[in-house]
Amino acid sequence: MSDEQGADFTKRKLWGGRFTGTTDPIMHAFNESLSYDQRMWAQDIRGSQAYARALVGCNILTPDERDTIIKGLDQVGAEWKAGKFQAEADDEDIHTANERRLKELIGPVAGKLHTGRSRNDQVATDMRLWLLDEAEALQTLLGELLHVLVARARAEVDALMPGYTHLQRAQPIRWSHLLLSHASALASDYARIRDLRPRISVLPLGSGPLAGNPFAGLDRAAIARDLGFATVGTNSMHSVSDRDFVVETLMWASLTMIHISKMAEDLIIYSSAEFGFVQLSDAYSTGSSIMPQKKNPDSLELLRGKSGRVFGQMSGFMMTLKGIPSTYNKDLQEDKEPLFDAVDTVRRSLQIATGVISTMSTFPERMRSALTPDMLATDLAEYLVRKGIPFRETHHVSGSAVRLSEERKCSLSDLTVKDLQSLHPAFEDDVLKVWSFDESVERRDATGGTSKRAVLEQCDRLEASLAK
């Protein structure tokens, strides 16, 4: 590129009139964002059309000029939709590209569209519009995963399995109770993204570069209604630089992925041969390149791994954001790639998780066979509590019974009534009923417990929250 060509290249940019020197081609590549922000082409066009309608009220555009611009932008959008839009070398971003093409289509009147508007308020508007669309889609996908978890919990409510703490067998639970524990975490994520959407839905357009719009008659409330925003940004300096909605979305994405990762970890463990409680369908498994017998839960391992990726996007952008002075600074261009990547990752992850849960096989017999009488030691202590003995004392008695069974190398349930009476006189013949796994889970009948009634109540509550 010659100096003369370079100077012309610089002047063709939206900001080029001030400059006489050339732009380093490496700097142009370093500065451009069209390669990734072009995915907001539809939102950029929607925002520009709404702004064109608003400029009529300022007497900047005539109705005919407005209609010409809106029609021209429709043509630009049709090119993007058909995959025929041709970017040029000096298109820095989606805003530059769309405005350049609009001018080619309708002539100089296109230059009126940017009156009173800055790329600072334009990009913030585009991002919020884009994210509102994506947040709705993510909420829908998360709702589908929750529906699958609840439906599976209802269908398999009679399956019993060991519950674990510290990965050690603890107490009998229903398999459905485990599924609903993960559903409960994801239901909070569902509520969080629903609550986040109003904070995304704040209109920045009309803030200008930082000081506000100077043209009387610009009705920002009308623009907000036109674009479907819930509220209007109340401080122009804040509106152009505010990226809290990006941070909140990345935080939401990170926590949601952590919950998906934890669920994946449980299923990875329970799908191993040592447990054999579940088996993934072939659609979500892979084999080994050297060991023919292997069936690897790669889908779950990828879900677990993607959580770190999303968290990294959040932490990286927060470090970018923390040192930026007021108001708009080019550092904020680093908001898009982390946001786009995190949203894409969560979307795919929700779809994969839904597929895994809906197609996996369960083996209730294996689950039940893993139950052992020592898991009823707490029930033994609770038997004495019902006789009026303080729990701290009954806990000690039950521990002594466990030690006695270990010394005799027998199961806890093999201890006779006489053996138990040697530890405490309150034991009677009905203590033998303690050794029922089914009765153990049914006794946990308080709200949130693992009895059948309590589990089905959890299903009802989750479905009701989704229906809202």
Active-site residue set: 166, 288
Torsion of CA 27, 30, 35, 39, to 10 degrees: -120
Map tokens 């941070």 to a residue: 247
- 430: tokens are 């009905």
Question: How many C-beta atoms lie closer than 10 Å to residue 47's C-beta?
Answer: 29
Q: By CB neighbour count within 10 A (0-12 exposed, 13-18 middle, 19+ buried), where does 193 fall?
A: buried
**Angle between helix 336-359 and 298-321 (nearest 10):** 160
Cα→Cα distances 66→43, 48, 57, 354, 404, Å: 18, 11, 11, 46, 89
The residue type of 379 is D
Provide long-range contacts, Cβ within 8 A and 24+ apart, for 56-60.
57/217, 57/218, 57/219, 57/222, 58/115, 58/116, 58/215, 58/216, 58/217, 58/218, 59/217, 60/112, 60/115, 60/116, 60/215
- DSSP code string of 392-416: HHHHHHHHHHHHHHHHHTS-GGGS-
Torsion of CA 358, 361, 364, 369, to 10 degrees: -140
- 186: tokens are 């994801």
The residue type of 250 is L
- DSSP code string of 272-287: STTT-SEE--GGG-B-
- 140: tokens are 């829908």
Spatial contact of 339 and 249, defined as CB atoms under 8 Å apart = yes
Spatial contact of 55 and 226, defined as CB atoms under 8 Å apart = no
Give the integer Cα–Cα distance in Å for 76 and 71. Answer: 9
Local structure of 131: helix, strand or coil? helix
**Angle between helix 336-359 and 244-270 (nearest 10):** 30
N-terminal to C-terminal alpha carbon distance within the chain:
60
